[in-house]
């Protein structure tokens, strides 16, 4: 269980990532509490790199990332953090159930065969793929495939769920359902009270988050609730707020 009053779930301090000659992230600081946090910014602003650092698969050049009190990517965290990349990261030539069963075994879930099946079924149901359970993933649509990937991340009932653009290319109904699912997972009463960190380059998804992190050029522009961001900038949608913040930022730098 994640306690709201305790320290943030994710603490990033002075994070620097260099790729070639380019500083993708340059001394980035950020705290992520429980609830649903949206990481928003244009493509190429460093969202994926930041998320990879939180999961602990990114080679970093400096700074620290602490997750649930442990160093990101360290062994005790490997079954407490669920991660969905932009690539679907599932096996195309296995069925939905076979994929989930495999990853459930890797996560060492289920003491018995029955418990394992229950875990797999619960994950399949959570992403509404019950009718495709025994279909080979390669034959599914892109949206269905990314839901299989999400199901894998949900398997271990993680305390932190890191999702890199999970709603890209999905139809609006499905997108709404997924956001509802994220909030359910984050709910400490009905769900598992997990922290959910979701990236998106679509600003209209911002309204669905408890908290926003606006990012541009490898730096954090603002961290606030959607309403807070709008009030602070005197605008009435997040896209306008983002533009205003970029102008202010540019003005300060000049």
Partner 1 sequence: MSATSAFSPTVTGAVAVRVLTQLRRDPRTVAMLVVVPCALQTLLWWMFLDVPTAAGQPGTFDRVGPGLLAIFPFVVMFLVTSVVTLRERSSGTLERLLSMPTGRLDLLVGYAAAFGLAAALQSALAVGVSVGLLGLDVAGPTLLLLVVAVADAVLGTALGLFVSAFAQTEFQAVQFMPLLVIPQILLCGLFVQRDALPAVLGALSDVMPLSYAVDAMQHLATETSTGAVWADVALVAGFALAGLLLGALTLRRRTA
Nearer to partner 1, 197 or 229 (CB): 197
Q: How far is the CB of 159 from partner 1 (least distance, A)?
A: 11
7-26 positions binding partner 1, by CB under 8 A: 19
Nearer to partner 1, 197 or 223 (CB): 197
DSSP code of residue 201:
S
Q: Is residue 202 at the binding interface for partner 1, with CB under 8 A as the rule?
A: no
Tokens 């070639």 locate to 20
Q: Is residue 103 at the binding interface for partner 1, with CB under 8 A as the rule?
A: yes
Q: What is the longest distance spanned by two Cα atoms in the chain?
A: 63
Q: Is residue 102 at the binding interface for partner 1, with CB under 8 A as the rule?
A: yes
38-97 positions binding partner 1, by CB under 8 A: 55-60, 73, 75-76, 78-81, 83, 85, 87-94
* Close Cβ partners of 229 (under 8 Å, ≥ 6 residues apart): 206, 212, 214, 222, 238, 241, 245
What are the DSSP calls for 9-46, one per residue?
SEEEEEEEEEETTEEEEEEEEEEE-SEEEEEE--TTSS
Is the sign of the CA dihedral 77, 78, 83, 85 positive or negative? positive
Is the sign of the CA dihedral 118, 177, 47, 219 positive or negative? negative
Which residue in 147, 91, 87 sits closest to 123, CA to CA? Answer: 147
Q: Is residue 227 at the binding interface for partner 1, with CB under 8 A as the rule?
A: no
Instruction: Select the residue interacting with partner 1 from 11, 98, 128, 177 (CB under 8 A).
Output: 98
Q: Is residue 114 at the binding interface for partner 1, with CB under 8 A as the rule?
A: no
x-or-dash string of contact with partner 1, 162-201, rule CB under 8 A: ----------------------------------------
Binding residues vs partner 1 (CB under 8 A): 19, 55-60, 73, 75-76, 78-81, 83, 85, 87-94, 98, 102-103, 105-108, 136, 152
């Amino acid at each position: 269980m994640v306690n709201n009053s305790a320290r943030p779930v994710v603490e990033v301090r002075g994070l620097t990532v260099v790729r070639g000659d380019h500083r993708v992230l340059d001394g980035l600081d950020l705290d992520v509490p429980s609830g649903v946090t949206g990481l928003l910014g244009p493509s190429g602003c460093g969202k994926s790199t930041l998320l990879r650092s939180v999961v602990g698969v990114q080679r970093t050049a400096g700074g620290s990332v602490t997750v649930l009190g442990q160093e990101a990517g360290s062994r005790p965290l490997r079954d407490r953090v669920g991660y969905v990349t932009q690539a679907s990261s599932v096996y195309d030539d296995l069925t939905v159930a076979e994929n989930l069963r495999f990853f459930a075994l890797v996560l060492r879930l289920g003491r018995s065969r029955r418990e394992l099946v229950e875990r797999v079924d619960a994950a399949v149901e959570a992403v509404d793929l019950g009718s495709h359970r025994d279909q080979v993933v390669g034959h599914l649509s892109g949206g269905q495939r990314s839901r299989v990937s999400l199901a894998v991340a949900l398997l271990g009932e993680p305390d932190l769920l890191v999702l890199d653009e999970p709603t890209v290319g999905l139809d609006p109904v499905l997108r709404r359902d997924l956001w509802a699912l994220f909030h359910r997972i984050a709910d400490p009463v009905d769900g598992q009270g997990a922290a959910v960190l979701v990236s998106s380059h679509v600003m209209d998804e911002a309204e669905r988050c408890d908290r926003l992190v606006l990012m541009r050029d490898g730096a954090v522009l603002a961290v606030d609730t959607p309403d807070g961001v709008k009030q602070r900038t005197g605008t009435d949608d997040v896209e306008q707020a983002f533009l205003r913040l970029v102008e202010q930022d540019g003005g300060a730098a000049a």
